[in-house]
Amino acid sequence: MLLAARGGATFFNNTDFAVNSVFAGTPPGLLGFTTATSIDRVVGEVAVGVDILTANGSNLKLDYDGQFGETTRQHIFGGRASFRF
């Protein structure tokens, strides 16, 4: 069995984003629209994973990744299995 873990943080200096858009085929003279969002300045990150290996070559992997900020909560769970036959 293998166990891995890591942690860290990402720091953003620009936290506001905006995109000006117009739909394809819009008649000339009609205004487009703006989509805007902001992200957290600091986002903490954690990851944990485990690999379970068997003597016959089968493998089970389970992992978790998380991101956490003032307004951000993201959880990702994953799993993979392989069986030798």
The pLDDT-based confidence of 65 (bands split at 50, 70, 90) is: very high
Q: Which residues span the domain enclosing 64? A: 2-82
pTM, rounded to two decimals? 0.71
Tally the domains of the chain: 1
The proportion of the chain whose per-residue pLDDT surpasses 70, expressed as a percent, equals 100
Kindly give, in sequence order, each residue whose CB lies less than 8 Å from that of residue 48, ignoring residues fewer than 6 positions away: 3, 4, 5, 63, 64
pLDDT of residue 29: 86
pLDDT in tens, 3-37: 999 999 999 999 999 999 999 998 888 899 999 99
User: Distance between CA atoms of 1 and 60, rounded to whole angstroms?
Assistant: 10
